[in-house]
């Protein structure tokens, strides 16, 4: 009986479609890592797929392969520096013979991978999950978009950019998702201990959950929040920032807080990494979540906030603008950028940032502060419904399943590869 079961498992394994993933580690707390994990877990639950991950964006302590429970035979993680390199990808293709190569994050990280297109695509379709870009259209990316069999996009903005720049590429919009069974409204008794810890009793609580990186405006937020406190009173509100207080890509937030004299509970730095359930409690503690990034493909923290019925204040850039409103209803306050900055270089000349003005942001904080409790609760409840209708796990999983199935049917791989044309530039 055991022998029969083993044979059946082997047959089943042979019929599963294997997907090679290059992205942030699915074990990383980043938005890219989280969405990679969500996608893999959703597809594994169908029983039709297996995954091999080249997992980057972590400071790895151990480079040995990881078999992930409860799918040890179908989910292997190989820790890599960066996102890998041509040698590693060649070895993975030769060893695992995947049916699809799926990769995700900023396109500028994958120039080396698109340079291998002529090695990969004749055998294996390439699906790129494009996480962000900004207006005006980055035509510089056209050759990258054209090097994929499918480009999946996370927002209406990114989808419009890809379709405009590369109209011949198959494009599918698949927004990010959030686990609404974890990120949800909690009872006050679960939140009360946090209020004492944060010293926020009797204060309005604003929450910021992001990487301490330049474009996230972590340091700027503290400066501007002080101006808000100067208007309403320093004992009236608290800003909780869940992030690394010092980061090579950001600022020394502890130094800024000290310099501005905000150490008496006005700004609280939450530095301990925590599981999603505890993070959800912080969203519930907050009256409002803030995301004022100069550029944001999606902004997962805003979606997590809305799922917890906590309204948001966001910069109207990238995917953030789709989360704060559905076009008719609002789930917080969206601030229109005051200017656009070009911060590109000769290598990548088109990088743009949507920048807010200090006055507009402070005014939005004051506006939210002056809202009644019922107004804030109405925004929060509508935000939760917006998430359930547009960003549910079931919808997200269904879109990925349909995308993978269509690629297998229309393009196949290796000996059965279809609908791929080699370059014809030298044909007479």
CA 72 to chain centre: 26
Task: Say what the pLDDT of residue 342 is.
Answer: 84
> CA-CA distance, 257 to 259, in Å (whole number)?
6
> CA-CA distance, 209 to 272, in Å (whole number)?
12
pLDDT tens track for 259-284? 999 999 899 998 888 888 999 999 99
pLDDT tens track for 284-327? 999 999 999 998 888 889 999 999 999 999 999 988 999 999 99
Task: Say what the pLDDT of residue 271 is.
Answer: 84
Residues of the chain with pLDDT below 70 are: 1-14, 198-199, 347-348, 422-428
Domains of the chain (ranges plus CATH)?
Answer: 7-176+393-416 (3.40.50.2000), 188-390 (3.40.50.2000)
This prediction has a pTM of 0.87
């Amino acid at each position: 009986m055991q022998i029969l079961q083993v044979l059946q498992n082997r047959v089943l394994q042979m019929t599963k479609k294997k997907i090679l993933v290059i992205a942030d580690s699915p074990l990383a707390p980043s938005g890219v890592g989280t969405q990679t994990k969500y996608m893999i877990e959703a597809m594994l639950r169908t029983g039709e797929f297996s995954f091999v991950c080249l997992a980057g964006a972590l400071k790895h302590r151990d480079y040995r392969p990881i078999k992930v429970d409860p799918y040890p035979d179908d989910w292997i993680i190989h820790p890599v520096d960066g996102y890998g390199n041509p040698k590693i990808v060649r070895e993975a293709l030769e060893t695992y013979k995947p049916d699809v190569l799926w990769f995700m994050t900023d396109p500028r990280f994958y120039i080396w991978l698109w340079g291998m297109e002529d090695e990969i695509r004749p055998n294996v379709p390439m699906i790129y999950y494009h996480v962000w870009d900004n207006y005006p259209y980055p035509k510089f990316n056209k050759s990258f978009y054209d090097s994929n069999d499918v480009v999946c996009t996370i927002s209406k903005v990114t989808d419009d950019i890809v379709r405009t720049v590369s109209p011949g590429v198959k494009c599918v919009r698949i927004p990010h998702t959030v686990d609404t069974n974890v990120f949800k409204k909690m009872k006050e008794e679960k939140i009360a201990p946090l209020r004492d810890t944060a010293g926020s009793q009797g204060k309005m609580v604003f929450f910021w959950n992001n990487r301490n990186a330049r474009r996230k405006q972590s340091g700027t937020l503290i400066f501007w929040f002080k101006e808000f406190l100067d208007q309403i009173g320093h004992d009236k509100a608290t800003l909780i920032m869940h992030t690394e207080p010092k980061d090579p890509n950001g600022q020394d937030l502890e130094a800024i807080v000290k310099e501005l004299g905000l150490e008496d509970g006005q700004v609280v730095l939450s530095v301990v990494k925590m599981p999603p359930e505890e993070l959800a409690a912080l969203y519930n503690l907050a009256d409002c979540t803030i995301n004022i990034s100069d550029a944001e493909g999606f902004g997962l923290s805003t979606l997590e906030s809305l799922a917890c019925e906590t309204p948001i204040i966001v910069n109207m850039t990238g995917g953030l603008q789709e989360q704060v409103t559905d076009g008719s209803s609002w789930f917080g306050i969206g601030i229109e950028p005051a200017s656009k900055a070009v911060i590109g270089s000769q290598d990548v000349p088109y990088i743009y940032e949507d920048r807010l003005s200090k006055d507009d942001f402070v005014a939005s904080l004051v506006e939210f502060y002056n809202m009644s409790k019922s107004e804030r609760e109405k925004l929060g409840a509508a935000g939760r419904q917006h998430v359930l209708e547009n960003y549910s796990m079931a919808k997200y999983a269904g879109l990925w399943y349909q995308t993978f199935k269509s690629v297998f049917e229309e393009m196949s791989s290796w000996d059965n590869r279809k609908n791929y044309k080699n370059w014809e530039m030298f044909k007479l």
